[in-house]
Structure 1
Amino acid sequence: MRAGVAPTPPAEGAYFGAWVDPVRHYPPDGSASASPSPTPSPADDDQVTVVRDYERSLGRRLDIAAVYRSWSQEFPRRADADLAAEDRYLLLTWKGADTREIVAGRYDERIRTRARALKELGKPVFLRWHPRMDATSQQEKVHSAADYIAAWRHLREIFRQEGVDNVAWVWCPTSAGFNGGTAHTYYPGDDQVDWIAADIYPGGAYEYRDFSEAAAGFMDWARHRPKPVMISEFGVPRSYGERRAEWLRKAATYLQHPQIKAVVYFDSDKGGRDDSGQPRYEFSLGGDAAALSALREVATAPFFNPRNLPVAASG
């Protein structure tokens, strides 16, 4: 990994990463979870601590550590810098704002400040700006595909003016938007996008559905684009019970696709509802030894370890 250079796809295989929710280790009520480190630590250190714990459970360091930031939140935070300093790529998801206000220049100072801060970080960063922009729930601030594309180009131009060369731009609509939807109309163009991505979840909590079925529409579209693919979030619901490990092993087979160059597991039990109004289900593998063992098999397989990072013997 070279400082100051944007992440590039591995020649073979795919990077493996994860979002590890601090709540998985430090529940809001203070009770201990199934974490190797059940004692709560200072809030600003939680993210680094849980990532390190998670890596011990997988037997290797992550290639990618995912973090999430709101439009108004400052970044990179100390935790972001610490994660990047330990030879991981950051996958920084930055929520959007009103696209027309962005194009009008209302947020130029903020965008320029964030661009300079990422440049100063000097580490490779995946920047996933305003994912799922095609969802119905986003239309009040996205307005239209044309408005979104104009805003994307506005951000990229400011980053270009600031000489930011360590950021790879990740475009990520909804996966459902490729199944008869309009996701493709939000594509800013090959000259504007470095990686194309989608979050792939199997759907209903109780009706078993393979990863391959959930990913089919997106991958059919992606094969016509000369871009590396990132599965920027994926997870298997806890409700699948004993079949979770089976689901992960089958997903790993599908993910060994020559165009897929990065995969990121979403280890969280967020709750709430997704963009289609359906309940979000529990994807954390905490407390599920069989499923965690299956994910460890994925993470330590040569295909998903293209940097040949050291792998610890399973305990």
Structure 2
Amino acid sequence: MRRTRGVFGTLLAGSLAVGALAGVPAQAAATTTTQLSVSASDDAYTSSARKGLTTGSETKLVAGTVSGDRKVSYLKFTTGKAATGAKLALTLDGTPAGSTLTVTRVLTSSWAESTLTSANAPALGTTTVSAKLAAGQREVIFDLGAQIKAAGTYSFAISSSSTTAATRIHSTEHGTAGLRPALRLTVAGAAVPAPATPATPAAGCTTGAKLVPTCGVLWGAAAGGFTSTPRDTALKQWEAATGRTAAIYHTYHKGNELFPTKAEIAMTQDAAKPRTLLLNWKVAYGDTWAGVKAGKQDKRIDRWSAYVKANFTKPFFLALHHEPENDVNTNPESGMTAKDYAGMYRHVIQRLRANGVTNAINVVAYMGNETYLAKSWWPDLYPGDDVVDWIGLDSYLNAEKGYHYGDFNNLLDRGPVAGTNKLGFYGWATTKHAGKPIMVAEWGVYHSLKRTADKGAVFDTVLNQLKARPAVKAMVYFDCPADDTGDRNIAVTSSASALTAFKRIAADPIFNVTLK
């Protein structure tokens, strides 16, 4: 705690909702033709004149040739179901009349919008679909049914015949969801769940691969923050006060510390109160991210690897240097740039894997603060889908009117105050990294120590809004009577009304998930 693209996106009219992740139980079932709108996981355009240009954070895509500079746009979609029909819908923002847009299948989907340039653009296939554009045309739709049949990942390039002006297309980063590129799938004859009301899970929710619940949401906490009370004791007291065992026990470590400690391991061995661990580790403590990436802390990593293999074999969550935004230094010589963080993260995870640490489930935990989301370097923090298992968010709400006052949606949806990225955190995670489960790795509601505000009103917004966010698969409360600056109370016991409201959250069956 510090001070300071889901696979299935928009639901089309007349269709039935399908969750982007497994675990949303059916209220009822119907056999019908279902239409789903899939958001692009990656989109960007390239420039032949500026071969190193990257445009993954732009709110527009561009196609056409102007003054010899040829621009081509690329889109990537991941479909979770076989389709009987598929149409690509693009919203235009300026186009030369009479020009032709052509969609071409790309031979590989191994590119990423953050690194795509004309110098490394993937090769194109020969299958194309074209459409001639009229003056003032605002939308164009391409029938891709012949190319998209099975579930999978598909990439396409958009080019234009124009040599006088470029066609501009709203990208996935555009602030209005309805104007973003969409792949409209038709899924016929499938029994799909009807989501008339937010569902609570049926009995039998368990954790599956990478501790992702088969249904429901994992419940967790870090208690006793910034106090002298031992963390295990504080958690047990918190559980007794709130009425539910924390399936996730959250602790923090740095540098050469060896963990989980004996006390932490003991918390996972209580058969009556099953728990797993969420362990934060600042590997670079006393060094820089670039130093870790360069191998300067490999002995530290290897020593910890040997300790874990000898002492703890259960699956656990591992977050490396949570809330990295607060420590970014844009000076390339600092060793603490956003790209240095991504490189550090990749190096540590890959070395742990090489060392045989197979039970660590990796969480990249962001602050999700709107100021940082607007920074041009923010996308560079992401280490890559191959080394990230869960996407984490550390975010807090104010019970008093003012900064960060609001409901649970406000915690998840904060968007940048400026800049080109227009997506809020939940939208970014479910759009850019579809299929990755989201962990609210730290959350809480606070008020000033100088007065007591009613946290209960905020707590009462959590359940309904959580159940409408199927990608959130774990929530971990950070409880402390005074934060690190000593001016905010984040405890659920700050008032009788706060505790009563929080206990209503804790009692909900959505958190009835059995650890396996």
Shared fold, TM over 0.5: yes
Structure showing greater relative contact order (alpha-carbon pairs closer than 8 Å, 6 or more residues apart)? 1
State how far apart, in whole Å, the 2-side matches of 1:200 and 1:142 are.
26
State how far apart, in whole Å, the 2-side matches of 1:282 and 1:242 are.
10
1:36 corresponding residue in structure 2: none
- From the two aligned structures, give the one with the greater helix fraction: 1
Partner SS, residue 155 of structure 1:
helix
Q: 1:212 to 1:241 in 2, by over 3 A?
A: farther
Moved more, 236-245 or 128-137: 236-245
Residues 99-155 of structure 1: per-residue CA shift (max 9 Å, x gap): 121122221111112122223311221101011212256668652222112111111
Q: 1:269 to 1:219 in 2, by over 3 A?
A: same
- Which residue of 271, 277, 293 corresponds with 1:103? 293
1:9 corresponding residue in structure 2: 212
State how far apart, in whole Å, the 2-side matches of 1:75 and 1:136 are.
24
1:307 is aligned to 2:483 = no
Alignment of 1:49-60 (within 5 A): 49-60=233-244
1:68 corresponding residue in structure 2: 252
Larger Rg computed on CA atoms = 2
Partner SS, residue 237 of structure 1:
strand
8 Å CA contact retained: 2:227, 2:480: yes
State how far apart, in whole Å, the 2-side matches of 1:234 and 1:248 are.
11
State how far apart, in whole Å, the 1-side matches of 2:302 and 2:209 are.
18
State how far apart, in whole Å, the 1-side matches of 2:427 and 2:214 are.
22
1:250 is aligned to 2:461 = yes
State how far apart, in whole Å, the 2-side matches of 1:82 and 1:69 are.
17
Q: 1:201 to 1:280 in 2, by over 3 A?
A: farther
Partner SS, residue 201 of structure 1:
strand
Residue 251 of structure 1 deviates from its aligned partner by 2.2
2:378 corresponding residue in structure 1: 183
8 Å CA contact retained: 2:225, 2:483: no
1:311 corresponding residue in structure 2: none
State how far apart, in whole Å, the 2-side matches of 1:102 and 1:25 are.
31
Residue 23 of structure 1 deviates from its aligned partner by 5.7
Partner SS, residue 211 of structure 2:
coil
Residue 242 of structure 1 deviates from its aligned partner by 4.8
Q: 1:136 to 1:25 in 2, by over 3 A?
A: closer
Tell me how many residue pairs correspond in the alignment. Answer: 281
Q: 1:65 to 1:156 in 2, by over 3 A?
A: same
Moved more, 142-151 or 295-304: 142-151
1:153 is aligned to 2:346 = yes
Q: 1:247 to 1:24 in 2, by over 3 A?
A: farther
Q: 1:142 to 1:104 in 2, by over 3 A?
A: closer
State how far apart, in whole Å, the 2-side matches of 1:74 and 1:283 are.
29
Q: 1:6 to 1:88 in 2, by over 3 A?
A: farther
Alignment of 1:280-299 (within 5 A): 281-299=488-506
8 Å CA contact retained: 1:170, 1:196: yes
TM-score normalised according to structure 2 size: 0.51
Residues 195-242 of structure 1: per-residue CA shift (max 9 Å, x gap): 001111125854232231232011010111120000001111134845
Partner SS, residue 238 of structure 1:
strand
State how far apart, in whole Å, the 2-side matches of 1:17 and 1:138 are.
32
Alignment of 1:1-315 (within 5 A): 7-21=210-224, 26=229, 46-86=230-270, 87-97=274-284, 98-119=288-309, 120-136=311-327, 143-176=336-369, 179-181=373-375, 182-202=377-397, 206-207=401-402, 208-216=405-413, 217-224=424-431, 225=433, 226-239=435-448, 241-256=452-467, 257-273=469-485, 281-307=488-514
TM-score normalised according to structure 1 size: 0.80
Residues 240-272 of structure 1: per-residue CA shift (max 9 Å, x gap): 845301101202322222100000111013434
8 Å CA contact retained: 1:19, 1:265: yes
8 Å CA contact retained: 1:252, 1:298: yes
8 Å CA contact retained: 2:291, 2:335: no
- From the two aligned structures, give the one with the greater strand fraction: 2
State how far apart, in whole Å, the 1-side matches of 2:328 and 2:386 are.
28
Letter in 2 for 1:246: A
State how far apart, in whole Å, the 1-side matches of 2:393 and 2:499 are.
23
8 Å CA contact retained: 2:216, 2:513: yes
State how far apart, in whole Å, the 2-side matches of 1:22 and 1:200 are.
15
Q: 1:112 to 1:268 in 2, by over 3 A?
A: same
**Structure 1: stretches of 5+ with no match in the other structure:** 27-45, 274-278, 309-315
**Structure 2: stretches of 5+ with no match in the other structure:** 1-207, 414-423
State how far apart, in whole Å, the 1-side matches of 2:307 and 2:496 are.
40
State how far apart, in whole Å, the 1-side matches of 2:394 and 2:350 are.
26
Letter in 2 for 1:200: S
Moved more, 112-121 or 58-67: 112-121
Moved more, 292-301 or 224-233: 292-301
Residues 158-188 of structure 1: per-residue CA shift (max 9 Å, x gap): 1111211211100012201564234322111
Letter in 2 for 1:13: G
Letter in 1 for 2:495: D
